[in-house]
Amino acid sequence: MARITPLTKDQVSGKAAEQWDAVQQKIGKVPNLLATLARSPGALGMYLNNGAALDNASISPALREQIALVVAGVNRCGYCASAHTAIGKMVGVDEGELGKNLRGESGDAKVQAALDFSKVIVEKRGFASDADVQAVRDAGYSEGEILEIVATVVANLFTNYMNHVIETEIDFPKVELPEGVGV
């Protein structure tokens, strides 16, 4: 049971109602995490603004979902593992690849470098070494793309931590976290 109860459409007003309607229009539903964040227009706005900013990223929506999965795996966030597996399928990532991504693995060397770097960012709390940055650069990522990988990791830390605190009820097809994954 969630520690903080999600709102329903009839319980939101003002800015939260505008945000609710925007989410509903964009994805066809308001997931439990967002219905809970609607209790705070600031918290929901932070989530929505992060997403809108990353829509301008040069790294693909597929890679952003793959990064979200490795972050969810490291942080043992079942809600995000489930949500980003569903979204990853919607943006065209193969289901088998999504399962690998949750474990920090990829069948594509360039994606693997981004996942490795993302995992380093989480595990080292941002204190990546020169070698960590060079490895992702050597894989073919530009300096701007490296910044976008970091931004994607940070955006997903926000949702992972919210879900841990809230204990959000999973409202996507449930994905089990693999054994041995996470901190």
Do 30 and 90 lie in a common domain?
no
DSSP 126-157: T---HHHHHHHHHTT--HHHHHHHHHHHHHHH
Q: What is the mean pLDDT of residues 111-140?
A: 98
Do 78 and 130 lie in a common domain?
yes
pLDDT 10s digits, 160-174: 999 999 999 999 999
Residue 179, in any domain of the structure: no
Residue 119, in any domain of the structure: yes
Q: Decide if pLDDT at 182 tops 60.
A: no
Q: What is the mean pLDDT of residues 142-152?
A: 98
Do 107 and 36 lie in a common domain?
no
Residue-number span of the structural domain to which 159 is assigned: 61-166
Do 31 and 86 lie in a common domain?
no
Do 84 and 38 lie in a common domain?
no
Do 68 and 141 lie in a common domain?
yes
State the Cα–Cα distance between residues 6 and 28, nearest whole angstrom: 17
Give the sign of the dihedral formed by CA 150, CA 52, CA 112, CA 177: positive
Residue 127 near residue 115, CB atoms below 8 Å: no
SS3 content of the chain, % helix, strand, coil (to 5): 65, 0, 35
> Considering the chain, what percentage of its residues have pLDDT values greater than 90?
87
Do 35 and 89 lie in a common domain?
no
Do 146 and 112 lie in a common domain?
yes
pLDDT for the residue numbered 179: 80
Q: Decide if pLDDT at 147 tops 70.
A: yes
The domain that contains 141 carries what CATH number? Answer: 1.20.1290.10
pLDDT 10s digits, 13-51: 888 898 899 888 988 899 999 999 999 989 999 999 999
Residue 68 confidence class, pLDDT cut points 50, 70, 90: very high
Domain count, the chain: 2
Please state, rounded to an integer, the average pLDDT across all residues of the chain. 95
pLDDT for the residue numbered 180: 66
Lowest pLDDT segment from 12-16, 53-57, 147-151, 166-170: 12-16
Q: Which of 54, 73, 102 is the last residue of a domain?
A: 54
Q: Can you say how many angstroms the Cα of residue 138 is from the centroid of all Cα atoms in its chain?
A: 25
Amino acid at 88: G
Do 135 and 67 lie in a common domain?
yes
Do 41 and 68 lie in a common domain?
no
State the Cα–Cα distance between residues 46 and 52, nearest whole angstrom: 10
Do 89 and 105 lie in a common domain?
yes
pLDDT for the residue numbered 77: 97
